[in-house]
A and B are shown apart, each in its own frame.
Chain A
């Protein structure tokens, strides 16, 4: 039995994440138990933890702190694999510019910045924000979560803020949208992605499968 906890802190769409993991479990014939929960005991007992996030960072962080998710996440990453998705990834950083500036968990070094209004592609055409749609992820490492996924595969993104990681951090994936940003970051037991694997069809489901099989760094 592979116990998966999806951390629920009241910020929307966890159904998709849970359903996509369930789907991968069925197609790969894995014996999974999936809990969408904020219960520290269930999360502590899980084999793997998914830390999703949707919405504005200020509301996310206030719920994370109110429910004690900050302590739970700090504990999880000492012991087992954690997949952080979208705002879950951003919440791991030091600080976000969103909502006039919000302190985040400080687990990874760097900040979360706004794409800005003067974003252009290579030929000078203005790019719209949010960055919404399918974009390429250049794999920067040989992390097990990339197994079987072709380099530069397209994943689905929806975000107006991006992670600008400190140079001391290890980027696992880089994406260009007017500028290069960290679309994936690896740090010990953490694999964090800006895109939505649960919405990225074949490539996304492959990444989730890899996560279900990843043992972390222990």
Chain B
């Protein structure tokens, strides 16, 4: 069973209204990432999470500015089902271990923002970046994903920083490399511009779920169209 997830990161309107509309339209999960939280030191607004959770009865992942166990506790109590950890995991990898022990792996998502660093003609190689893709860390993306799973991450949200916002499709080689290397679900993110990209993410990129934002936010495709298209290409969907 593959999922289609949705992320709200830009000025696409009221996140609560968008989340409700997508849920009614058949989205399988909602991911609410406040990507500016980490760089501006601003906490994701708990009130928004509470409002979404009060109206949307499908799984909700919240990310952005999750730094300590108390942040996780606050978000889960506000109605999040999972939290997505990125910068804090890079700063202190053991945080993921403590979080998984305290709350269970099922609610700990580690967001891996990867960028290709190999030159043309070299074997593919990706490193992870923090702060919305601005800060390089020198850490190998595949090894990092494996380590995070060993520490208890229950899911990897994998974003290609090269593809994010480009609409030219996922980095399928990156996706496949990570998905085949870990034992937990991998959500592919970054670069979706059409419905075939979603299919490619699953069939070629071995993603367990695909995440797309702009193709839905701006009305290019409906969620039902996307799910129907994926089902027509042999992917099991909740229709």
Contact = CB atoms under 8 A, between A and B. Distances in A.
B109 to A, nearest CB: 10
A133 B79 contact: no
B221 interface: no
A210 interface: no
Interface stretch (B50-58, B170-178, B193-201): B50-58
A81 interface: no
A13 B77 CA distance: 5
A101 interface: no
A129 B184 contact: yes
Interface stretch (A14-22, A37-45, A63-71, A182-190): A14-22
A54 B107 contact: yes
How many B residues touch the partner, as a band?
Answer: 35 or more
Interface string A117-146: 100000000001110111100000000000
A158 interface: yes
- The majority secondary structure among interface residues of chain A is mixed
Contacts of B79: 13, 15-16, 19
Interface string B124-144: 000000000000000000000
A12 interface: yes
A201 B77 contact: no
Contact of B28 (A56, A59, A117, A133): A133
Contact of A133 (B3, B23, B102, B105): B3
How many A residues touch the partner, as a band?
Answer: 20 to 34
Interface in A50-86: 54-56, 59
7 contacts: A13-B76, A16-B81, A59-B102, A132-B208, A200-B57, A204-B57, A205-B57
B25 to A, nearest CB: 11
B93 interface: no
Nearest to A153: B238
Given A16-B81, A134-B28, A204-B57, A128 B103 contact: no
Contacts of B23: 201
Given A12-B76, A19-B54, 7 more contacts: A13-B107, A16-B57, A20-B57, A22-B54, A128-B208, A135-B1, A199-B59
A47 interface: no
B3 A134 contact: yes
Contacts of A129: 183-184
A154 B57 contact: no
B185 interface: yes
A56 B78 CA distance: 20
A130 B57 CA distance: 21
B209 interface: yes
A23 B79 CA distance: 14
A205 B53 CA distance: 14
Contacts of A55: 102-104, 107
A117 B106 contact: no
B154 A13 contact: no
A133 B185 CA distance: 10
A215 to B, nearest CB: 25
A54 B104 contact: yes
Given A12-B77, A134-B1, A159 B106 contact: yes
B1 A154 contact: yes
Nearest to B49: A15
A160 interface: yes
A33 to B, nearest CB: 17
Nearest to A158: B106
A156 interface: yes
Given A19-B54, A129-B184, A134-B1, A12 B78 contact: no
